[in-house]
Amino acid sequence: MKIRSLKLREAHKPPAGGGGDGRPSLCSVLWDQQAHHLVTASSSDPAISIHDALLPSSPPRILRHHRDGVTALAISPNSTCLASGSIDHSVKLYKFPGGDFQTNVTRFTLPIRALAFNKSGSMLAAAGDDEGIKLINTIDGSIARVLKGHKGSVTGLAFDPNGEYLASMDSMGTVIYWELHSGTTLHTLKGIAPNCGSDFSVINVLSWSPDGETLAVPGLKNDVVMYDRDTAEKLFSLRGDHLQSVCYLSWSPNGKYMATSGLDRQVLIWDVDKKQDIDRQKFDERICCMSWKPIGNSLAVIDTAGKYGMWESVIPSSMKSPTEGIPNSRSNNSNGLLLFDEEDEEDEEPSAAGSISDPGEDSFGESGPPCRKRLRKKSTYDEHWEEDDNDELSSPPKPKSRKGHHDKKKASDNGHEGLGSIMLSARSKMQDAFQPGSTPVQPGKRRFLCYNMIGSITTIEQEGYSHIEIDFHDTGKGPRVPSMTDHFGFTMASINENGSVFANPCKGEKNLSTLMYRPFRSWASNSEWSMRFEGEEVKAVALGTGWVAAITSLNLLRIFTEGGLQKHVVSLDGPVVTASGFNDELAVVTHSSDCLPSGDQVMAFTIFNISKSTKAMQGRLPLTPGSQLMWFGFSEEGLLSSYDSKGLLRIFTIQCGGSWVPLFSASKVKRSDESYWVVGLNMTNLFCIICKSPDLFPQVAHKPVLSLLNFSIPLASSDIGAETLENEFILNYTHLSQIHHKMEAAAQAGNDVTSLEDDAFNVEAAQDKCILRLIASCCNSDKLARATELVKLLSLEKSVRGSIKLVTALKLPNLAERFNSILEERLLAEKGPKDAPALNIKDTASTSIAAAAMAEKRTEAIMTSTTPKLSAPLFIKKVKSQEGTEVGSSDKIDEDVNPSIPNVGATKFKDQKNAAEANGGGEIKKRGHVHELQSECPSSSFPKSMDNPEKIKNAGQAHRQPPQRPSNPFLKSAVK
């Protein structure tokens, strides 16, 4: 290997004593990202020099802000900000490349030894002789965290390019891996590097490879040792011709090469993959800092005398350029938000363009600087987001705004505004995709991938694989599913009676995103299937009867059949939040836009009917301001529901033309030390797991037990102090409207609605009971008008009479009178239309006899039918007619009212009510509507009161059982 000489130029005066004989000082050299400028500093000189790389002859710009030697330099990844640390205990920030002093970011009590920006530039780590490493938010200069754990002074800091870890090294040779997310120590490697003691011209450094997979640390045997990113295990070492220990090392931008400088005053260039040195250079002084030029094939070096130089063409032209194929960090792939990627690229364009247009750039013979740069930037931002998620730290200072909307932030950000901060605010609030019923990853603990009313899927990660177990709550019903070993690392799952679906995000290039379906029972032997997604990542999965849905990072909804047939691929409106399936229906929640300025998320839901291939419903998903969606799914009855982080459960009902109704509010029931983890709900109860704070989710270890909670609508506190009754009142109405809706649907489909009617009757009876109690409490607090309104809502005649008795007992004769008149009015209204059609439509004797019979048997009828209310709305008539039939004279009346109905049709129905409903779907609808809207109209009437068998018995004619009842008008005479 030839030895070339390298011309060094003085940048910093050597320390007092003159010449090269003085104490060696620790000098630093740094390239900016565009390779326009080179920054140097020396621990014996308070000045920082910014040299223009394009005009080497022009004098450097000198920054004199420190009062003592500068020991550490760092440039933010977007090259807009320079940080320096000094022996004078301060860390200062400058604009770059202008060099305007911006702020003193922090002060220590002892000298600073190391500085590092994270890859997004949002965070600066500073450390030195003080005991803690400070993580500083560069936007506002706040200390995000102080990491304590080193015994000696910290001399090396390095952020993992993937933004998860920080590695630090102290003068005693101890390396600590910190997890940035939690601030905890992951690994402590003691004494793996030389102990430099108190000589601060020699410091221990460490450096992550650009892909973040390995950490390079100077070893004890004059070598460089590589440690694994995750396990901190020793991977290999670069050992060769260094005669003394390595004091500085630097990865080439693509991570293929490494420059190391030793105490033996030589610099070696290594091919890391081959673990071989490829070039070396001897210097007069020890080289204490090196920096690869980000663009091109050269290395900047600075020695302890403060002389710097440029080693051009470091890597022989026969080998790959040190900047070729700069790796993307691996998290790049995991980012599914296309929207933001685009924004990034857009944003990077100007700078990339700038570098192309720069004539000085071309001389470095780069194959394609702009696209490489863009690539790199992109990964920077990806990093940034991931980090923001974890740390909620802020973004890089970026003095020049490129986009108009950035200006908004200017004032608040103290001039440091920038794209990053905007993206941060958006990113930190737009929640990631999640699976309903899953719990977060906890190291070393089993967690739920899915927990619903049917069963649970749990997983625990072991070395290199996961162990998945599937359990059914009802062990008798569900099959016994053997536990499985999962080599994919599934993070999403869903389970129903028929099968389970799993999916994993992609991790790097070799581990593609996979979707797997396992049926629980199948006649075919190998009916498990899996799909792989290239360049796309599954974000959410859902299961229904006979279909599997997966929503991917490309906002595609993919529907597969149970057998694995790819049936539909649909593009969704936005990035998915979550999805849930129930029988034929699939509901998907997507982000419909960025967060509002208030920080509220904007989400939309879509319901698809998979078997019919239709879109059943679409709309906005309401969220409590400032909350996140926590759970999303269907109730046992198939109603869509959501639960947000503020503890509000909403259910999508047909009330008010299809609205989300808040049915449960945790703040109403909550004891302060509990939180509710929703699993499911039915019409009357919420099924949840109660977690004692501070836990927000259940642990697998103690098998969680479901608790039933009653719904509690967030009602205003009323003056009658009967909140539970008012709650019950609204719930009953919701329930009732639900039943009517179903009845309508069933009737339209020609199904039997008898059982639904029984339900409706029960609910109505319960509702009347509740109303009566409400009337009592209204009377007690002297709200007579409200009591009167309530009486009008009673559905059973008996209840109205009860209410009269009640107010009489309460000594409110006025009210009793009023109630009486209400009752009379209703009876009248009920009677009128009943008789009217009979009289009007059929003049035959038979009808009038029937009507007369009815009139007779209504012993309690107060008014005669002399004033039939023909003006009553249609639905009243309908109800009346129905009632009339119920009274039991016969179907005739029914037929009379709707003579157009063919008898054949009528025979199908088991009772008159059915017939009535079938006869006039429209009217029924209206009637349902009346119930729903709680119309004060008395016509909500007494449809049930007439069910009373007594009355039927009272009928002049023997009333036969419905099935045998003649459905033919001709049989009238027979009844007569």
Cα distance between residue 398 and residue 128, in whole Å: 26
Q: Which is nearer to another protein, 474 or 673 (CB)?
A: 474
Q: Which is nearer to another protein, 437 or 832 (CB)?
A: 437
Task: Compute the least distance from the CB of residue 686 to another protein, in Å.
Answer: 12
* 430-489 positions binding another protein, by CB under 8 A: 472-477
* 75-114 positions binding another protein, by CB under 8 A: none
CB atoms inside a 10 Å sphere around CB 750: 12
Treating both helix axes as pointing N-terminal to C-terminal, what angle do 797-809 and 784-793 enclose, rounded to 10 degrees? 160
Report how far apart, in Å, the C-alpha atoms of 820 and of each of 684, 815, 826, 830, 939 are.
34, 8, 10, 15, 16
Q: Which is nearer to another protein, 441 or 708 (CB)?
A: 708
Question: Quick one: tokens of 887?
Answer: 């009274």
Q: Which is nearer to another protein, 309 or 436 (CB)?
A: 436
Cα distance between residue 388 and residue 139, in whole Å: 13
CB 796 within 8 A of CB 765: yes
Task: Compute the least distance from the CB of residue 968 to another protein, in Å.
Answer: 41
Q: Which is nearer to another protein, 223 or 471 (CB)?
A: 471
Contacts of 788 (CB under 8 A, 6+ apart): 815, 818, 819, 822
Q: Which is nearer to another protein, 251 or 634 (CB)?
A: 634
Query: Hey, is 364 helix, strand or coil?
Result: coil
CB 32 within 8 A of CB 293: no
Task: Compute the least distance from the CB of residue 118 to another protein, in Å.
Answer: 44
Q: Which is nearer to another protein, 35 or 688 (CB)?
A: 688
Q: Which is nearer to another protein, 510 or 702 (CB)?
A: 702
* 668-687 positions binding another protein, by CB under 8 A: 687
Task: Compute the least distance from the CB of residue 497 to another protein, in Å.
Answer: 13
Q: Which is nearer to another protein, 472 or 520 (CB)?
A: 472
Whether cis (ω within 30° of 0) applies to the bond prior to 694 is: yes
Number of residues this chain uses to bind another protein (CB under 8 A):
14
Q: Which is nearer to another protein, 432 or 636 (CB)?
A: 636
CB 580 within 8 A of CB 587: yes
Determine how β-strand 529-533 pairs with β-strand 538-544: unpaired
Cα distance between residue 43 and residue 27, in whole Å: 6
Which residues lie across from 135 on neighbouring strands? Answer: 125, 145
Q: Which is nearer to another protein, 547 or 687 (CB)?
A: 687
Q: Is 592 exposed, middle or buried (0-12, 13-18, 19+ CB in 10 A)?
A: middle
Task: Compute the least distance from the CB of residue 706 to another protein, in Å.
Answer: 5
Task: Compute the least distance from the CB of residue 198 to another protein, in Å.
Answer: 52
Q: Which is nearer to another protein, 474 or 936 (CB)?
A: 474
List helix spans (H) across 483-575: none
* 687-746 positions binding another protein, by CB under 8 A: 687, 702-708
Task: Compute the least distance from the CB of residue 688 to another protein, in Å.
Answer: 11
Q: Which is nearer to another protein, 326 or 686 (CB)?
A: 686
What sign has the CA pseudo-torsion 303, 304, 306, 307?
Answer: negative
Question: Quick one: tokens of 644?
Answer: 């947000």
Task: Compute the least distance from the CB of residue 476 to another protein, in Å.
Answer: 4
Q: Which is nearer to another protein, 683 or 851 (CB)?
A: 683
Q: Which is nearer to another protein, 453 or 736 (CB)?
A: 453
Contacts of 781 (CB under 8 A, 6+ apart): 719, 720, 721
Cα distance between residue 248 and residue 450, in whole Å: 49
DSSP state of 306: S
Cα distance between residue 660 and residue 749, in whole Å: 26
CB 752 within 8 A of CB 746: yes
The answer to whether residue 749 forms part of the interface with another protein (CB under 8 A) is no
CB 285 within 8 A of CB 26: no
Task: Compute the least distance from the CB of residue 438 to another protein, in Å.
Answer: 17
Q: Which is nearer to another protein, 705 or 716 (CB)?
A: 705
Task: Compute the least distance from the CB of residue 685 to another protein, in Å.
Answer: 9
CB 198 within 8 A of CB 187: no
Task: Compute the least distance from the CB of residue 446 to another protein, in Å.
Answer: 17
Whether cis (ω within 30° of 0) applies to the bond prior to 97 is: yes
Q: Which is nearer to another protein, 386 or 471 (CB)?
A: 471
Q: Which is nearer to another protein, 364 or 472 (CB)?
A: 472
Task: Compute the least distance from the CB of residue 475 to another protein, in Å.
Answer: 4
Task: Compute the least distance from the CB of residue 687 to another protein, in Å.
Answer: 7
Q: For residue 490, which of 541, 526, 443, 453 has the smallest C-alpha distance?
A: 541
Task: Compute the least distance from the CB of residue 663 to another protein, in Å.
Answer: 19
Residue with tokens 């304590």: 148
DSSP annotation string for 637-674? TS-EEEEETTSEEEEEESGGGSEEEEEEEHHHH--TTE
Q: Beta-strand (E) ranges in 76-122? A: 81-86, 90-95, 101-107, 112-117
Task: Compute the least distance from the CB of residue 705 to another protein, in Å.
Answer: 5
Contacts of 640 (CB under 8 A, 6+ apart): 587, 605, 607, 633, 634, 651, 652
What sign has the CA pseudo-torsion 773, 777, 778, 779?
Answer: positive
89: left (phi over 0), alpha (psi -120 to 50) or beta: left
Contacts of 55 (CB under 8 A, 6+ apart): none
Q: Residues for the chain: how many in total?
A: 976
Residues forming contacts to another protein in the complex (CB under 8 A) are 472-477, 687, 702-708
